[in-house]
Every structure is written in structure tokens, then in C-alpha cells.
């Protein structure tokens, strides 16, 4: 296994809609294993394939460090089939280091997906798992955390980010 480079804003792969997975071959299994290792090393609670430069509809989530009843979850070609309620949560993102924002999400979601072996699964989620699922599925649709905040906050983020980039050069 290998730790992959996590792509950072504003890399283009983060804004592209990921392609559906059609083959559950050894290459996909290696990608999933590497994504899991990368997520833990970051450390994070979720990681989508576009965040490691792979425009495929694959994500891994593990919130067990915060909620022990939830094991590692691998979702392939996920779709939110129902959602209800609304909750606001302070989110961060591995592709936007050192930045957090209050984001409104559905409080409860049901997601249909395939597991790493191509078997159909359905995940009903609340709380942090619901938020993590929505966050990672957003990545698969080319939507970033900053796309979910107000235009004023987004512009403030962009200006601050450019200033930080210049300081790091």
C-alpha cells in the first residue's frame, strides 16, 4: 500500500464530475487500499478518489474515531436516494487544509452504492456519518466545501488562500 498525494484546491480534478466505476479489478482494489491508508495518514474521516487525482466514483469513510459504532465504509458509485431534515455542521476538508466552515446538510440520508466487491449496499445515516457521506459524494460531483458557503465567505476564502499561497512560495 502507498500514501497518495492529496490534491489541494484549486486543482482541476477537484471540480470535475467523477466517472462511474465499471470494473472491480485489482487496480480498483489497490486504489481503495491506498485511499484508506492515505485517509488514516492525513488524518481524516473521509476521502474521495478525485482528492487523490483519480476521477472515479469511489470514496472511503471511517468515523470510528468519533463514533465507535461505525466501521470503515467503502462506497462505489454512490447515490443519495433520500434525505430529510437540516443540520449545520463545522466541516473541514483534506483538500482545503486549515480551513473549516459551517455547512448546511441534510440531517438524515439514505445512500445506495456498491461495496468494493461490486455488491449493492444501502446505508441509512444520521449525524456525522450522514454529513461525511454527503461531503464525499459532493467531491464525486465536483462540489467542494467552499461551494456550499455564502458567496461572500467564498470570496474571503479565495483571497485568504491566495495570500497564503504567495507566502509559501
In a domain, 4, yes or no: no
In a domain, 71, yes or no: yes
Q: Is 20 helix (H, G, I), strand (E, B) or coil?
A: coil
Count each helix (H run) and each strand (E run) in the chain, helices first.
3, 7
In a domain, 62, yes or no: yes
Domain range for 94 is: 12-168
- Is the separation of the CB atoms in 9 and 144 below 8 Å? yes
Query: What is the distance between the alpha carbons of residues 161 and 44, in angstroms, rounded to a whole number?
Result: 21
How many domains are contained in the chain?
1
E strands along the chain, which residues? 46-48, 58-61, 73-84, 87-93, 96-105, 108-114, 120-126
In a domain, 64, yes or no: yes
At 92-150, the pLDDT tens digits run 999 998 889 999 999 999 999 999 999 999 999 999 999 999 999 999 999 999 999 99
In a domain, 150, yes or no: yes
In degrees, rounded to 5, the angle at the alpha carbon of residue 150 between the alpha carbons of residues 149 and 153 is 90
In a domain, 90, yes or no: yes
In a domain, 111, yes or no: yes
At 41-69, the pLDDT tens digits run 999 999 999 999 999 999 999 998 776 67
Tell me whether residue 30 is one of the annotated catalytic residues. Answer: no
In a domain, 126, yes or no: yes
Strand-pair partners of 75: 59
Which CATH number goes with the domain that contains 74? 3.90.45.10
pLDDT category of residue 157 using cuts at 50, 70 and 90: confident
Catalytic residue, candidates 11, 90, 136, 155: 136
Amino acid at each position: 500500500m502507498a500514501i497518495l498525494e492529496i490534491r489541494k484546491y484549486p486543482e482541476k480534478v477537484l471540480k470535475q464530475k467523477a466517472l462511474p466505476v465499471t470494473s472491480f479489478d485489482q487496480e480498483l482494489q489497490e486504489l481503495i487500499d491506498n485511499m484508506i491508508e492515505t485517509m488514516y495518514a492525513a488524518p481524516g474521516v473521509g476521502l474521495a478518489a478525485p482528492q487523490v487525482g483519480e476521477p472515479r466514483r469511489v470514496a472511503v469513510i471511517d468515523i470510528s474515531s468519533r463514533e465507535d459504532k461505525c466501521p470503515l465504509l467503502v462506497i462505489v458509485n454512490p447515490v443519495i436516494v433520500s434525505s430529510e431534515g437540516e443540520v449545520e455542521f463545522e466541516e473541514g476538508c483534506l483538500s482545503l487544509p486549515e480551513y473549516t466552515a459551517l455547512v448546511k446538510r441534510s440531517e438524515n440520508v439514505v445512500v445506495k452504492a456498491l461495496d468494493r466487491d461490486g455488491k449493492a449496499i444501502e446505508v441509512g445515516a444520521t449525524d456525522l456519518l450522514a454529513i461525511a457521506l454527503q461531503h464525499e459524494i459532493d467531491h464525486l460531483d465536483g462540489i467542494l466545501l467552499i461551494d456550499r458557503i455564502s458567496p461572500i465567505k467564498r470570496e474571503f476564502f479565495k483571497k485568504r488562500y491566495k495570500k497564503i499561497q504567495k507566502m509559501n512560495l
